[in-house]
Chain A
Amino acid sequence: MTTRRRLLSLAAAAGAASAAGCSLSGDGDDDDPEYDEAAVADVPDREVPTIRKRLPAGVGEEHVEAGLTRARELLDRVPESVPPAEVPNEVVRERIERRRTEVAEDLESAAEPEASLEGLQRGRSAREDAAGVEAMYAVSVSERTLEDVLGRVDPVAREREAVESEFGYGGEGLIETLVTAGTAERYLATAGRILSSPEGRRQDSEVEVTTAAEAGGRIEEAAAYVEDARHIRERFAASHDDPDDFGATFEAALESLRADLAGRCSEYDGRRATPSSLVDASVEDTPAEDVLADQLFSVRADCSRLEEDGDGRLARRLLRVHRAHHDVLALSEARQRVEDGQFRMPADAAAFDNRRARAMDAIESAASAAEHPRLTERLLEAAASRVERGDGARDGRASSGAVETAVREYDTAFVAATTATDATGRFVDGLGPDD
């Protein structure tokens, strides 16, 4: 078996070989993987599929544009060049000007509004950044005080409560209603968390201008989250005439799905379970050990959250349960495959290539599944990110260490993708009838 020490020595050898312009070969131990540097480097970078979470009723372009317009308006209140007479402290003056330039450049690159969840995210960030520099300037020239800036917390919090109180679980289509409501609930929860500590983590709390910049930006971001939550709910509501109320369905489903999940969680309870204890096969110092460890970590995080999660937001909690069921299923799949001897170091560059291709195929296959794509793509987004991380770990290197790291990401992406459709199917079965 290839030990970690062995891998390290291979990595060192790879570095030396690379420096000498040679290809890497093993030192005679039959168990050692032998990689041809050039072959590993040439593993084709088939483009990672773009998996984007979508909403059933989409996102309005005019709403995204309004967010960017708001950011521009905030930024326009700050002069490009701040006169020394306005802000005599040169360090403060330069910070305002530098930050203004950076935010303006970001806004310029976002000139084309993108009607998507990513577009919403970009709009929120733009508003946060612009409001931060605007608050810093306003406090610096004594237009406002830090207290004035913080005074916006209450109205935004009231608006958040108003949007939340309007929430029901009415809509057309069980999954469509769940995804829309869950996304809106997550936005409102995030806004609430920001508003509970608007000043964030400060380094120098007694410098009013920097605290104002942080708070002004964060409060604006919270306001944007609230507006986005309202927008996606209203847009969804406008997309149908005769909504069903899924509140009772969601409540009953949450109870049964959580109970089912709690039973599965008990197997991984406490600190007893380790990657080695989950399988009979020996996995020490192999990619299999890392795949199991990663998946075990996710399952434990899901299970502990299950116990803490009592915020009353049904849809958001159900979507978390969906993810948790998927993680448990992926761990089970990983265990089975490790028992079958999979997830070992690839023997050569061709085997390495196959591991990446296998992950990509699994993602593309799951993404093309016709059943409940809005749910499954939520799981596949993370799997696609794993492949990208694997590519990043390998970037230009062919050492055993780099190969091991990349393979771990590819294999984790593979088990996630290969179980995504099944996890969604089981979850939907647990939701109950769609009517």
Chain B
Amino acid sequence: MPDWSRRRLLQLGVGALAATAGCSAATTGDGPSEEYVYVEDPEWESVRAGGTEPVVSHPNERLSEIGYALFVTESTASKLTFRREPDGVEAARSFLEATRFDEETLFVRHDTVRQCYRREPFRLGREPSERVPRPAFCTRLRPPDVSCSKDAEDTAVHLVRLPVGLEDPPNSYGFTDSSDCDRGPTPRGGGDGQ
């Protein structure tokens, strides 16, 4: 089990707070250090729906309230239910079903985002002392031809495969938010489902 320090817990708290507030400019600290270990070709899938009604739910996880959850077994992940059917939901279901929980873990983030912006995972990495990588999200302005209102919000769900199998979820875990999508290597592929 990794050593989850108080500092790390505080960082995670900030990350979760930023996510809950839907802040586009939220950051946690100065970003990863150079020794950060990045996951090559990370895999993720995202789906976005208009309004703030929950898109997914789980009987044991308050996803739309807490904002994220880790699923370490197929049996718990299979209880995830898509409550709405926006574009891309089939790809998200397939992504969930194709996750191999003996060697992978599923991170799910349930998030509100301002309608004229998109928040997306852009890298996956960990401190050398950690075992479980954390996703980093960044926020971008959507293209000019996307019809959107500056005051409206959408809901987005991001499913990220962590390339590590776990017996139990770690005692604490989280993600980072940034307004700067240029920091660090941008992984190929993945979540353009918004």
Q: Which residues of A line the B interface, CB within 8 A? A: 84, 87-94, 139-142, 202-210
Contact = CB atoms under 8 A, between A and B. Distances in A.
A207 B149 contact: no
A90 B147 CA distance: 7
A88 B141 contact: no
Interface in B106-143: 116-117, 140-143
A49 to B, nearest CB: 44
B143 A208 contact: yes
B142 to A, nearest CB: 6
B145 interface: yes
A91 to B, nearest CB: 4
A206 B144 contact: no
Interface in B135-166: 140-150
A383 B142 CA distance: 48
Contacts of B145: 87-89, 142
Contact of A140 (B140, B144, B150, B179): B144
A89 B181 contact: no
A89 B148 contact: yes
B118 to A, nearest CB: 10
A92, A205, A208, A210 pick with most chain B CB within 10 angstroms: A92
Contact of A90 (B143, B149, B179): B149
A88 B181 contact: no
A314 to B, nearest CB: 39
A203 B141 CA distance: 11
A204 B141 contact: yes
Contacts of B53: none
A204 B148 contact: no
A139 B149 contact: no
B97 interface: no
Given A142-B145, A204-B141, A210-B141, A90 B150 contact: yes
17 contacts: A88-B145, A89-B144, A90-B116, A90-B148, A90-B149, A91-B148, A91-B150, A92-B116, A93-B144, A141-B144, A202-B182, A203-B179, A203-B180, A204-B140, A205-B181, A205-B182, A206-B140
Interface residues of B, number: 17
Contact of B144 (A92, A202, A205): A92
Nearest to A92: B144
Nearest to A94: B150
B38 to A, nearest CB: 19
Nearest to A207: B141
Nearest to A91: B116
Interface of B: 116-117, 140-150, 179-182
Contact of A87 (B144, B149, B179): B144
Contacts of B148: 88-91
B181 A209 contact: no
A92 B182 contact: no
A53 to B, nearest CB: 38
A201 to B, nearest CB: 10
A96 B140 CA distance: 17
**Interchain residue pairs A-B with the least CB separation, the first 7:** A88-B147, A140-B144, A91-B116, A92-B144, A90-B150, A207-B141, A89-B144
A139 B144 contact: yes
A68 B146 CA distance: 34
Nearest to B182: A205
A204 B24 CA distance: 12
A207 B140 contact: yes
A25 to B, nearest CB: 47
Contacts of B143: 89, 208-209
A209 B144 contact: yes
Contacts of B116: 89-92
B182 A88 contact: no
A174 to B, nearest CB: 49
B143, B147, B149 pick with most chain A CB within 10 angstroms: B143
A84 B144 CA distance: 10
A89 B179 contact: no
Nearest to B122: A206
Given A89-B145, A139-B144, A141-B144, 9 more contacts: A89-B142, A89-B144, A92-B144, A93-B144, A202-B182, A203-B182, A206-B181, A209-B141, A210-B141
A205 B138 CA distance: 12
A139 B143 CA distance: 10
A26 to B, nearest CB: 45
